[in-house]
Chains A and B, each alone.
Chain A
Amino acid sequence: MLRLPILTVVMVLLAVVLYLRKGRQTLTIPAGKGCVVPNDWFAANPHPMTPADHVRPADQTFLTYPEWFLVHSPAEIADYAKNHTTTTFPYMSHVRQLWQSYGIVYDQIKATFPFNTGYHVMIWVIGVSTTVEYAMKALYETVVGRLTNPAHGCVVTDEDKFNAQFTQDYVDFIRELPWYEFDFTSRISRLFSETSLWGPHFIRKCERKYMLLTELVVKAGYGYLIKLGTKAAYDEALLTTAVVVDKAPATLPSKTKLLKTYPDESALLLLPRYEAFNPAASALAQHGVTFREIAGNNSALLLTVLSPENWHPDRPDFRVVFTQPVLTKPGLKRVALVTTVGRLNKTIRYVQEQHVTIEHVYDY
């Protein structure tokens, strides 16, 4: 037993080396070293027309990416869960994608903007919690889940179906509202009422009940704590994004409000924030509208699209920041593009012409 400490050090080092070698290459591919955004795209807007309480910091378009990755990732899980049990989901690769892309978006802004401590702390908190959650799941699924997983990883038990439904509901929920508002508690009783006690794959059923119950209880508890903490540390978030356009179209897209029209025909609109911003903005772009300000900014703006692997766009209106393969859908990749508020309409139209889906527009 004398050799234990030495062997432990050796094995841990070996494991770390293997881990670092593994996903190094292809999980997140930056378009270039450091900042790829043209310098003048960062020029600040000195006199925003947007009312002050609707103005948000310009660097937030980048900093919101890691947060949104934590929506994209569960969305991918939910999608995957429809046809496969989540036992084989590549959790650890998502952890890597999260931190790698965080590094890249931070590279874009670090020379131009002062360090936004509050935002980075928030990213660290959610990033670390997600890392822990995914790591635990990966470990559990490798050690236990894998042994009870049905052949080919098909969804055959009530419990795995329950999981698919729960994951989907959860994603739909967090597209609109903070995750900790989700009602995990009521799912606990549903876990038992919506699944049979006995049945084929009995061991799998028990094992999944154990695992889902653990997940729900832990998330309910953790969510409760985070809710208390967030209330104390951050202000209530605004649910709308103010946008200045050159000319308001005759018919406004749904959920969009006209606040004010200026003498030069330009107008101040109130669009829904977050998930619903993209459809509203896309609709405006289709109407030929040009954006002048979004949340008070006219500088760089980030958006992500989901495109075929062989799509390599090259246009003056935007730059590629990085790409990430969508691991559970071979052939599909996420491309992060940076444009400016003024070029957003052209970018949207180009992307749509190419039949590429806009995943999200990061509206600061």
Chain B
Amino acid sequence: MRLKDKLPLSYLLFTSRGRINRLTYWTVSAFIWSTFYVLHTLLNDFIGEGATYILYPLLLVSLVATATKRLHDINRSGYWLLIVLIPVLGALWLIYWLGFKKGDNRANRFGTIPNEAADYLKNDDGSLIPHLKTQERIINDVTHLNPVVVADVFRPTSTEELQEKVRTTTGPVSVGGGRFSMGGQTASPHSLHIDMRGLNQVIHFSKAERIIKVQTGIRWCDIQRFIDPHDLSIKIMQTYANFTVGGALSVNCHGRYMGHGPLILSVRSVEVLLADGSLVYASRTENPDLFFGTIGCYNGLGIIVTAELDLEENLAVRRVYKKLPYTDYSSFFIDTIRDNPEAVFHNGDMYPPAFTNMRAVTWVKTTEKPTVKTRLMPLRESYPLERYFMWAFTETMLGKWRREHVVDPLLYLTTPIHWRNYEAGYDVAELEPRSRTKRTYVLQEYFVPVRHFEVFARKMSEIFNRYNVNVINVSVRHALPDQGSYLAWAREEVFAFVVYYKQRTNDVAKNAVAIWTRELIDAVLSVEGAYYLPYQAHATAGQFHQAYPNARKLFALKKKLDPDFRFHNILWDTYYQPDNN
């Protein structure tokens, strides 16, 4: 939950700080007046006329407070309320200002744009353990399903500081970036947790060469803000821009880009800090073992400190779509999208619960004017509509049917045109539920060789329906192969099935998820595919090694470069040295 959601209503009604937009003002005014009417009537009818006078101070204060906030929004101080003392004209002005005049479209002396978040959603710095005065902290990820007690949290702000720390300490180390991975990949019990988000500088940038070198604690959104004025865009990243470059490199992420594949395809070189404290440069030609053993390899060999990445032109893209049965999808994709130089982003959404209908969405290059005002995604404080839909799709009868046949058709009536940076700038906040205590949203991903698309789709649908999994969405993306990384998930050309589902947080539910996940992994292995590692580690060791046949080579390399097994996280604790725990 964001700050604004936590504020009580009284903050809005009885303090004059900050700004509110027109919609909030109208809503809160309706609230104030209707409440006043109701209370006035009740007091008058049941206690007596005199009792109603207690309402007046409350009424007055809330009217003044909310009006002041609205005046702030148009960059005027609350004293302008006195203008109402001028008969007629003053009142008319005030009505126009409060109810109709658009707020400043930038931050002013009274605060930021209402409803606009100051920054992308972030995970905390590690929460304190109640009643305990040690350095220990609880490190958790975005799902709140994986709390881990770590010995200490270290937040370096320079490479030297980090290097020094690793050199002068001996115990286990875990590394966290944005901590949006979902299964304990960023922490290990009693380790020294290194929070990379303080290492977030751009080290080198060349517009002509379309290259940028950054410290890996930097987030994609920070890079976007840096390169957007130069009309450049990140070549490969995820759809959401909250993630750090280090976290994205370590999982070897992918986006919805056409003609691209895993992130590694856009990396020129990295600098890796090894367990002994040495900093090593690695690229496809120099120290390739280290290059392929760190990218996509979950902090097994060392900490990626810097990375040199390719950039691309920031184009305008227009959305087009087609609804089709899943049996037609791969031929449609191969014939019209795969080699189409105009296609920039593509994904195919499969509609639960039947998974037989799909909506193929492609963003194509265009020279038309974008339909959005900003070049980068504006951030919002809250996403009430998104939250409502998410709730309706997952909790109401026929919710999924309505989504396919009512909501989506409406949402797809328009033809938006965005910038490439804009379309890769989503904020994970839009997916955040109000609370993750009882239910939480989780991701999984399966990589299926292109030729086996239909077979896997059928198996997946059968498993989801048999286990009654509350699937919100299955989004299909495409990736060209890269065999380099030791934990490469696209050893041939694949479709990635990104599964977003809702689960309860009790132990029974967690177990059920583990069971169907293993079945789904078997299904993907049966078509020579792989599953994605940044999510819950439900796979058995056998499944892991079948999906990642080169893992043993990586383990050997880890033994050599990290002989004392300093770099820990759930993957290494589960599959590398399970008895070590």
Chain A residues engaging chain B, CB cutoff 8 angstroms: 1-5, 7-8, 11-12, 14-15, 18-19, 22, 142-143, 147, 210, 213-214, 217-218
Pair A8/B5 contact, Cβ less than 8 Å: no
Within 8 A of A (CB), among B493-532: none
What are 14 A-B interface contacts by the 8 Å CB criterion?
Answer: A1-B5, A2-B434, A3-B9, A4-B24, A4-B27, A4-B28, A4-B31, A5-B27, A12-B31, A14-B34, A15-B34, A142-B40, A214-B91, A217-B87
* Residues of B contacting A214 in the complex (Cβ-Cβ under 8 angstroms): 87-88, 91
Pair A213/B87 contact, Cβ less than 8 Å: yes
Pair B5/A18 contact, Cβ less than 8 Å: no
Q: B30 near A: Cβ within 8 Å?
A: yes
Closest chain B residue to A210, Cβ basis: B87
Residue from the set B38, B85, B91 with the largest chain A CB neighbour count within 10 Å: B38
Q: B4 near A: Cβ within 8 Å?
A: yes
In whole angstroms, how far apart are the Cα atoms of A147 and B53 in the complex?
9
In whole angstroms, how far apart are the Cα atoms of A143 and B18 in the complex?
26
Q: A1-B11, A11-B35, A214-B87 are in contact. Are A22 and B30 (CB under 8 A)?
A: no
Pair B27/A8 contact, Cβ less than 8 Å: yes
Fill in one digit per residue for B356-391: 1 if any A CB lies within 8 Å of its CB, else 0: 000000000000000000000000001010000000
Pair B41/A18 contact, Cβ less than 8 Å: yes
* Residues of A contacting B41 in the complex (Cβ-Cβ under 8 angstroms): 18, 22
Chain B: interface residue count, which band?
20 to 34
Q: B411 near A: Cβ within 8 Å?
A: no
Pair A8/B31 contact, Cβ less than 8 Å: yes
Known: A1-B9, A14-B34, A14-B38. 18 other contacts (CB 8 A): A1-B4, A1-B5, A2-B382, A2-B384, A4-B9, A4-B28, A5-B384, A7-B9, A12-B30, A12-B31, A12-B34, A143-B56, A210-B85, A213-B87, A214-B87, A214-B88, A217-B87, A218-B88
Q: A8-B27, A142-B40, A213-B87 are in contact. Are A1 and B7 (CB under 8 A)?
A: yes
Fill in one digit per residue for B1-30: 1 if any A CB lies within 8 Å of its CB, else 0: 000110111011000000000001001101
Main secondary structure of the interface of B (DSSP, over half): helix
Chain B residues engaging chain A, CB cutoff 8 angstroms: 4-5, 7-9, 11-12, 24, 27-28, 30-31, 33-35, 37-38, 40-41, 56, 59, 85, 87-88, 91, 382, 384, 434
**Distance between A271 CB and nearest chain B CB, rounded to angstroms:** 42
In whole angstroms, how far apart are the Cα atoms of A214 and B59 in the complex?
23
- Contact pick for B5, options A2, A12, A147, CB 8 Å: A2
In whole angstroms, how far apart are the Cα atoms of A220 and B87 in the complex?
14
* Residues of B contacting A18 in the complex (Cβ-Cβ under 8 angstroms): 37-38, 41
Pair B34/A11 contact, Cβ less than 8 Å: yes
In whole angstroms, how far apart are the Cα atoms of A3 and B382 in the complex?
12
Closest chain A residue to B42, Cβ basis: A18
**Distance between B51 CB and nearest chain A CB, rounded to angstroms:** 13
* Residues of B contacting A217 in the complex (Cβ-Cβ under 8 angstroms): 87-88
**Distance between B274 CB and nearest chain A CB, rounded to angstroms:** 47
Pair A8/B7 contact, Cβ less than 8 Å: no
Pair B34/A147 contact, Cβ less than 8 Å: no
* Residues of B contacting A19 in the complex (Cβ-Cβ under 8 angstroms): 37
* Residues of A contacting B7 in the complex (Cβ-Cβ under 8 angstroms): 1
* Residues of B contacting A2 in the complex (Cβ-Cβ under 8 angstroms): 5, 382, 384, 434
- Contact pick for B38, options A4, A15, A210, A218, CB 8 Å: A15
Closest chain B residue to A14, Cβ basis: B38
* Residues of A contacting B33 in the complex (Cβ-Cβ under 8 angstroms): 15
**Distance between B59 CB and nearest chain A CB, rounded to angstroms:** 7
**Distance between A136 CB and nearest chain B CB, rounded to angstroms:** 10
* Residues of A contacting B59 in the complex (Cβ-Cβ under 8 angstroms): 143
**Distance between B209 CB and nearest chain A CB, rounded to angstroms:** 47
* Residues of A contacting B8 in the complex (Cβ-Cβ under 8 angstroms): 1
4 A-B pairs closest in CB distance: A15-B34, A11-B34, A8-B31, A12-B34
Closest chain B residue to A5, Cβ basis: B27
